[in-house]
Structure 1
Amino acid sequence: MKTTVKKRMLKNLIVVLLLLGIGSIWQDVMIDKESRKFLPQGNLYTINSHNMHLYGLGEGNTTIVFIAGSGTPNAFTDYYYYQQELQQYARTVSYDRAGFGWSEKTNIPRTIDTIVEELHELLKKANESPPYLLVGHSLASLEVIRFAQQYPDEVKGILLLDSGSPEYYANDLEAKSLILNRFTAGLRVTGIARALGSAGILLPFAGENLRYDLLPNEMKEIDIAMYYRHLGDSSNLNFISHMNENAKVVMDGGYLKDIPFLILSSESGSDWDEVQQQLLHWSNKSVRETIPASQHYIHWSNKEVVLKKIVETLTLISKDK
Structure 2
Amino acid sequence: MSKKWRKRLVKFLIVDLSLIIILLGCGLIYQQVGASQDEKSFTPPGKLYEIHGNKMHLYTGGEGDVTVVLASGWGTANPYVDYYPLYEKLAPNAKFAVYDRFGYGYSDKTDKKRDVDTVADELHELLQVSGQKPPYVLVAHSLGSLETIRFAQKYPDLVKGIVMIDGGSPEYYENDLDNPADTIGGFGNQFRIKTGLFRLSMQSQQVVDASNANRNELKLVPADLKKADKTALLLNYGNSDTIDELREANANAKTVIANKKPLPFPLTILTADYFGKTEPDWVKTQAEFKSWSTQFKQVNVKDTDHYIHQYHPDIVADEILEVVKK
Q: Same fold (TM over 0.5)?
A: yes
Decide whether aligned partners of structure 1 residues 266 and 15 sit closer, same or farther in structure 2, where only a CA change above 3 A counts.
farther
Work out whether residues 78 and 211 of structure 1, in 8 Å CA contact, stay in contact via their aligned partners in 2: no
Task: Name which of 275, 294, 301 aligns with 2:304.
Answer: 294
CA RMSD of aligned residues (A): 2.5
Q: Aligned residue for 2:292?
A: 282
2:202 matched residue in structure 1: 197
- Counterpart in 1 of 2:253? 247
- Mapping for residues 9-48 of structure 1, pairs under 5 Å: 15=19, 17-48=21-52
Contact preservation (8 Å) 1:178, 1:240: no
Structure 2 equivalent of residue 124 of structure 1: 128
SS at match of 1:214: coil
SS of 1:25 mapped into structure 2: helix
Q: Whole-Å Cα distance in 2 between the matches of residues 28 and 186 of structure 1?
A: 13
Distance in 1 of aligned mates of 2:174 and 2:40: 40
- Structure-1 separation of matches of 2:107 and 2:166: 25
Q: By how many angstroms is 1:80 displaced?
A: 1.9
Q: Does 1:74 align with 2:84?
A: no
Aligned residue for 1:114? Answer: 118
Q: Which has the higher contact order (CA 8 A, sep 6+)?
A: 2
Q: Mind listing any 5+ residue stretches in structure 1 that lack a counterpart?
A: none
Deviations 1:81-102 (A, max 9, x none): 2123311111011011112111
Whichever residue aligns with residue 26 of structure 1, its letter is Y
Match of 2:172 in 1: 168
Between the aligned partners of 1:13 and 1:295, the Cα distance in structure 2 is 46
Q: Distance in 2 between matches of 1:52 and 1:181?
A: 23
Question: Which residue identity is paired with 1:128?
Answer: Q
Aligned counterpart for 2:318 among listed residues 308, 315, 321: 308
Cα–Cα, structure 1 residues 12 and 287, in superposed 2: closer, same or farther, change >3 Å? farther
CA distance in 1, matches of 2:100, 2:76: 10
Aligned residues: 316
One-letter amino acid of the structure 1 residue matched with residue 172 of structure 2: Y
52-61 or 262-271: bigger deviation: 262-271
1:54 maps to what in 2?
58
User: Partner letter of residue 204 of structure 2?
Assistant: A
Matching residue's letter, 1:112: V
Secondary structure of the residue aligned to 2:255 is helix
Label 1:151 to 1:119 Cα distance change in 2 as closer, same or farther (>3 A). Answer: same
2:230 and 2:62 map into 1 onto residues whose CA distance is 26
Q: CA deviation at 1:20?
A: 4.0
Which of 222, 227, 241 is residue 221 of structure 1 equivalent to?
A: 227
Q: Could you tell me which amino acid in structure 1 is paired with residue 111 of structure 2?
A: N
* Contact residue 207 and residue 297 of structure 1 kept, 8 A: no
**Aligned residue in 2 for 1:232:** 238
- Tell me which structure has the larger Cα radius of gyration: 2
Q: Distance in 2 between matches of 1:278 and 1:296?
A: 18
Percentage of identical aligned residues: 36
One-letter amino acid of the counterpart of residue 45, structure 2: Q
**Secondary structure, in 3 states, of the residue corresponding to 2:149?**
helix
Q: Secondary structure at the match of 1:287?
A: strand
TM-score (norm 1): 0.89
Q: 1:5 to 1:139 in 2, by over 3 A?
A: farther
Residue among 70, 90, 97 paired with 1:86: 90
Stretch deviating more after TM superposition (97-106 or 117-126) = 97-106
Q: Counterparts of 1:162 and 1:184 in 2: how far apart (Å)?
A: 27
Instruction: Tell me the distance in 1 between the aligned counterparts of 2:20 and 2:261.
Output: 54
Tell me, in whole angstroms, the C-alpha distance in 2 between the residues paired with 1:55 and 1:188.
Answer: 28
Q: Structure 2, unaligned stretches of length 5 or more?
A: none
